Amino acid sequence: MEPTAAEFERAVSGNQADRARLLVYADSLTAKGDPLGALIVLQNTDREANPLLELELTTKVKQRLGSSRDLHALGVEWRWGFVDTLTLKGTKDGDNAALLSRVLESPACRFIRHLKISVAHLGGNKARDASWVADITGLDRLELLNRFTCSAGLKKFGEVVAKFPRLEHLSLGTDSLPAKKHFDLPLKSLELLGYGPNVDRLFVKPVWTELTHLRVEQDLDTVNEVLAQCPLSSLDLYGSQNVMANLVASPHLEKVQKLTLRRVGGVRPLVDARARLKHLTLHLIDGAATREDIGTLKASVKQLSYAGLYGPEGDAGYSLKIRV
């Protein structure tokens, strides 16, 4: 008998009875000539000692998912012999839903946790739409599928997310989202990685009662209000002076344990509020700052990392990369 999703998760977490049951299932697959059985056993017992055998088995299992042309568009990450993350790279939109519907019928995909759609933009200001995801069959039957990443827009957002009844982590390559009524989702993580209309409207009502991670790649002027309504412990934001000022003024700043700021235009608001940042793990990515301010923050926060930061322009008209 095939293991259930709950039994599989218990086996992965170390329950010996469920692990034994999973290996019995693997033996039954091997007896039928299915390479999935051997892969389950290998990734449970001797994965690091047999990298060539693992590559051979993963290739054989993947070959059963579709034709060689189809497989060129698929990326697979494995967990205990089963597909954990499935990535579809750009191909003809008309074929995508049918391809993924066929692939998800495979026993190897029964315990998938993360579906990624990675499609190229059309150029200029035109964004690719991936609403065809709503036509994929079998998504709602996958009990462990709780993460969806899509580099394109979703004009039929409501129809798409309805296919993910257990959705907890959502990452979209757009911020052009539909009506607010579609956003009553019990998400724990939300990432909006596009540019365009202001996203503050998404947080007008306190519906994000379980959101612990938020990433937005533009000014989030209402960051104070967002912190007030969400149990956020991780924030990843565009680091404008306005956003930083609102952030350090928030009485709810202590909720945040990890703060990432991108394209920072100086970190003076953080330096001035450094007494409130002792609990923070702070990441600064790209932008401008001074060596002195970075040194002050390094001594003030729990942990500091930074990349791509440059100091002010010198007399020669160029900036030096900051190293502290």
Domain final position from 47, 64, 81: 64
Question: What is the model's pLDDT at position 314?
Answer: 57
Question: What is the model's pLDDT at position 320?
Answer: 74
Mean of the per-residue pLDDT values for the chain? 86
Question: What is the model's pLDDT at position 124?
Answer: 46
- Please, are residues 137 and 154 in contact by the beta-carbon 8 Å criterion? no
Residue 257, domain member (yes or no):
yes
Could you tell me where the DSSP H helices lie in the chain? 5-12, 16-31, 35-45, 51-63, 68-71, 93-103, 157-161, 223-229, 241-249, 268-272, 291-300
Q: What domain range is 262 assigned to?
A: 73-310
Q: Going edge to edge, which strands form the sheet with 281-288?
A: 74-79, 82-89, 114-118, 147-150, 169-172, 189-192, 213-216, 234-238, 258-265, 281-288, 303-310
Domain final position from 64, 96, 111: 64
Residue 271, domain member (yes or no):
yes
pTM of the complete model:
0.88
Assess whether 169 and 300 both reside in one domain: yes
The 10s digit of each residue's pLDDT in 270-294 is 999 999 999 999 999 999 999 999 9
Q: How many domains does the chain have?
A: 2
